[in-house]
Structure 1
Amino acid sequence: MTNPAFSLIIPAAGQGKRMQSETPKPYLELKGITILERTLSAFSEISGLCQVIVSTSSQYEEQTRKLLKRKFPDISVDVVSGGRERQHSIYNALMVVLDEADLIAVHDAVRPFVLDSTISQCLRKAYETGGAIPGVPVKDTIKRVDSKGFITQTPDRTDLWQAQTPQIFKKEILLKAYKNAIKKDFLGTDDASLVEAIGERVSVVKGNRNNFKITYPLDFRIAELLTDENYHG
């Protein structure tokens, strides 16, 4: 089954502070290949992809442009400047999305292990409902804690899910959500939260726990082990 036409946005302007590295996380190498390139590889064979946009810091723009042209020689590729927050970086990318794209997928630069099946399921669900994200049920007990460090609530975890990416939406919905966020000076925790803020419903597709975000040194070590198991790259 052919997927709807979609543009892929990869925000890659983040720093490596929590990774304890001077190199931004997307540009760290996993077994000789940058995390960003491995992440892009996850989308290289997905049908419907018509454009890839990466937002990054100025010192990595040329490197990223060369990577995109090599990785995706037959489709439109763009590099835009990153913003102060992830949300601003994505908005900059939204300004160059192609007219032909029906959907926009936003995926974290440091989630290289997303499965083809997860991407395609989210694309089809988003085309059907307007928006879809992958997620996994929360496995730990969650506590709500007040400013003094005392537990105030233990939510029932049966209906709690951990959000992942790619977060995919019909183009007009995501553009409306971002324009609303700018107008109201609202900073969301992910793209879905911006879409929720305009009253749109977002579907959740069950994802895979290997689709984690490489944030801390331990995550990087786990990613090295997964890379040895012949994942994308």
Structure 2
Amino acid sequence: MERVKFYALLMFGGVGSRFGWEKPKQFYPIDELSKKTLLEYVVERFVRFEVFDKIVVVSPFEYLSETKELLRIYSSVEITTGGDSREHSVWNGINYLKDVASDDDIIVIHDGARPLVEKSIIEKSIESAQKYGTGITVINAVDTVSYSEDGIKIDKMIPRTKVFLHQTPQTFKYGLIKSCMEKQIDKIHMFTDEASILIASGFEVYYVRGSRTNIKVTTIDDIALVKRYTENS
């Protein structure tokens, strides 16, 4: 029997309009001395984890050449283009692997804007996906949480122990995520992550505990947090 293979899908498919810079956030230098970009830092980190049989980077079409140039030294990394939405980009990445991945292989889908993810979280998500088919990285809410229908007044309080915030990686058996996305393809732009696609398709989704250091770079101010961590690690 052929062994299960592990694939990483690194999502850099958006243009990061909220970041507030002249280019998408992945091209921002997070190391002032080496000028290493966020893109290079994340890819190098995943290569050094030595977990994956193949790493695929999803890039905006208009920045495909620049992405290839920055990653040219990583012969094991392949690049494909994103789509009109986050989930269209994920679908492009999943479809890119259709000729090499089997249904029981594991695909780890990770936001390129989360550069500080630890290897241990990735390994836990893979273990969960092998056991249950799914492994969604989450952290629990620590602030008081309320629900409002109109955004003006509180309709009800929600126990924060019951609220979990989704991160990445979101990890699946390849055949499962592919079939669920195919079912939802006509409305795939309406989903904000892969877990919600599986829920809509009628499948159970299991949690993996994440970390508060696994931050998502959304604005240029977040880069300072990443730099602080990388300088101290």
TM normalised by structure 2 equals 0.89
Alignment of 1:201-216 (within 5 A): 201-216=204-219
1:91 and 2:69 aligned: no
CA displacement at 1:15 relative to structure 2: 2.0
Q: Report whether the alignment pairs 1:137 with 2:140.
A: yes
* Structure 2 CA distance for aligned equivalents of residues 42 and 181 of structure 1: 32
Alignment-mate amino acid for residue 168 of structure 1: T
Instruction: Kindly indicate whether residue 16 of structure 2 is the aligned counterpart of residue 16 of structure 1.
Output: yes
Report the 3-state secondary structure (helix = DSSP H, G, I; strand = E; otherwise coil) of the residue aligned with 1:18.
helix
Q: Percent identity?
A: 28
TM-score, normalised to structure 1, is 0.89
SS of residue in 1 equivalent to 2:218: coil
Deviations 1:188-223 (A, max 9, x none): 121111111112212111111110100023322211
Segments ≥4 residues shifted beyond 4 Å? none
Q: Secondary structure at 2:229's aligned position in 1? A: helix
8 Å contact from structure 2 (residues 184, 197) kept in 1: yes
1:26-49 Cα distance to aligned partner (Å, 9 max, x none) = 111101211122222232133441
CA RMSD of aligned residues (A): 2.0
Q: Is the 8 A contact 2:82 2:92 kept in 1?
A: yes
SS in 1 for 2:49: coil
The structural deviation recorded for 1:154 is 1.5
Distance in 2 (alpha carbons) for counterparts of 1:45 and 1:200: 33
Q: Does residue 197 of the first structure (1) align with residue 200 of the second (2)?
A: yes
Return the alpha-carbon distance in structure 2 between the equivalents of residues 192 and 148 of structure 1. 25
Match of 1:125 in 2: 128
Number of residue pairs the alignment of both structures matches:
225
**Structure 1: which 5+ runs fail to align?**
none
**Distance of 2:70 and 2:53 partners within structure 1:** 17
